[in-house]
Amino acid sequence: MARAAGVLSQLTCQAPGIMAHPGLPAFWVELVLAAVVVGIGWTLWRTGPPLRTGNGLSLAAWPIVGSWLRRLVSVPWLLLGLRILSAALFLLVIHAGLFGTPLPARNLATVLTWSLWWTGLIISIYFVGSAWCAICPWDAIATWLVRRRLWGRGSETASLQLRVPRMLRNVWPAWGMFVGLTWLELGLGITTSPYLTALLALVIVVLATLSLAVFERKAFCRHFCPVGRTIGVYSELSPVALRPIDSTICANCRSLECYHGTASVEPCPTHLVMGRLQENTFCTSCGACALSCPTHNVAWQTRPVGQEAMETARPRWDAGWFIIGLVALTSLHGLSMLPGWERWMRELGRLIGDSGQLLWSFSIGMGVSLLVPGALFAGAVYLTRRLLPRAVRFDRAFASLAFAGLPLAFSYHLAHNINHLVREAWGAGSVFLNPLGIGTLPLSEAEMQLRHLRPLVHQEVLFALQAGLLIFGFWLATRILQSRLIQLAGAADPGRLARLPVLAFITAVTLFNLWLLMQPMIMRM
């Protein structure tokens, strides 16, 4: 009985009626700390370039299943069916949000969007890269509305086909939208409002439709979509990607159907040529290249984890800031769900005269959370440049070394969201049976406690996953750091001192995220 009371005391915050997830126990914290210490020693002790990651293996070459997998990417009805299914679920989410119960734990709009889809999406990136973009309901609905066809190449006159202005041909618009979405999510609290969740979904569909009607190809997917750009950079860590089966066939190709399309197949929506593709960043896995290729030379390919981030992805100034922004915003999600965050915001609000929802206070807190990691990383890059054996421009060094932040953001993003998934998705089956939550009541205290005591997986398994993700993120970040430093140094060993500044940043972010996982975290719904 005393043990049960102790467990419940860990699960309940001091404020009455508020439930909090328990933090990472001491054993797992010590394991992560030990791995970090070993990783620091290995990174500093090891000399010379890391082992090359090597070439991947086309899944089309696998025995028995290879031919089936090869046909899979060239079967249009399968992709169309998945798009229709995702669009149907999306429309159901909008309907439930607009006309269903306002109780977030009883409404499909909030449960599916924030507890199931978002976490499931981040998990899927590791195993299937940017495959979600191929069945994205925003793009599917926008395409059907503008092109007025369920499948195939639409009329060129269906869109104005204007070029995106040069100042917008980057990922800064997507970065701005991502910051805005985070402000709406954490500041305005749309995760707890089915109605606002549905409105947000409608706004994004309208933006995707307007972009497709005005600009050439799919500018929204390449430049404006915050989810798509997050998928794009995270998929640089994925061990799978769409690639040529035989690179010599692509090298000798002059017609470039993968880029221009055919009479019945759309051109590449993000202006990519399969034979020159070196990174997943802007690939939406839409299958247009596989459908248009006359030699059927496109298939899914395996490759070493993080190969793009280590070797082949081209450093870009805007993408570098996007990555460091992801590092900051993923940590902010954890920080804003600590029991002390609201107390800090109230104290800040008292100092600046803010009241009500404390939106000014949150905006300041969010701004600081973005500026501090950015300033620390910029300082680390400045010191690294001074220690390299040859002169390198700051923007190039920043963009290249920013790849080391990718696994830090990805690993904590997953570790944080898995906690929500296994604890708050309990009872999601009943929500699917009653998506509008008709006749339901708010979660009782007993139901909330049951969700914490009976997560979808055993609690120790959850802790092991979280600790393992942090260790994986730290290990991969140090590997990427070593590889990118060698590229900046001109294939020479940059020396141990040159590794220290960014290694210190990687370590600081890992320890801060570990501290976040140690704290009790308030549940969202």
> Is pLDDT above 50 for 236?
yes
Helix H or strand E segment including 465: helix 459-488
Cα Rg, the chain, nearest whole Å = 24
Please report the pLDDT score of residue 58 as a whole number: 74
Among 24-33, 232-241, 421-430, the minimum mean pLDDT is found in 421-430
Please report the pLDDT score of residue 13 as a whole number: 39
Please report the pLDDT score of residue 9 as a whole number: 35
User: Alpha-carbon torsion 265, 266, 270, 275, what sign?
Assistant: positive
Q: Where are the beta strands (DSSP E) in 276-331?
A: 298-302
196-209 pLDDT per residue, tens = 999 999 999 999 99
Please report the pLDDT score of residue 17 as a whole number: 46
Please report the pLDDT score of residue 47 as a whole number: 67
Domain boundaries, the chain: 57-309
Calculate the average pLDDT of the chain: 87
Residue % of the chain over a pLDDT of 70: 90
Please report the pLDDT score of residue 4 as a whole number: 34
Please report the pLDDT score of residue 12 as a whole number: 36
CA dist., res. 103 & res. 96, Å (int): 11
Give yes or no for a contact between 23 and 518, defined as CB atoms under 8 angstroms apart. yes
**Cβ neighbours for 229, distance < 8 A, ≥ 6 positions apart:** 171, 174, 175, 178, 322
> Is pLDDT above 90 for 458?
no
35-49, 194-208, 296-310: which has the highest mean pLDDT? 194-208
306-350 pLDDT per residue, tens = 999 998 899 999 999 999 999 999 999 999 988 888 889 999 999
Kindly state the tokens that stand for 11: 């699960």
User: Pairing state of beta strands 298-302 and 57-58?
Assistant: antiparallel
pTM of the model: 0.90
User: Pairing state of beta strands 57-58 and 521-522?
Assistant: unpaired
> Is pLDDT above 90 for 6?
no
When pLDDT is cut at 50, 70 and 90, the band that residue 303 belongs to is: confident
> Is pLDDT above 80 for 103?
yes
CB atoms within 10 A of CB 61: 13
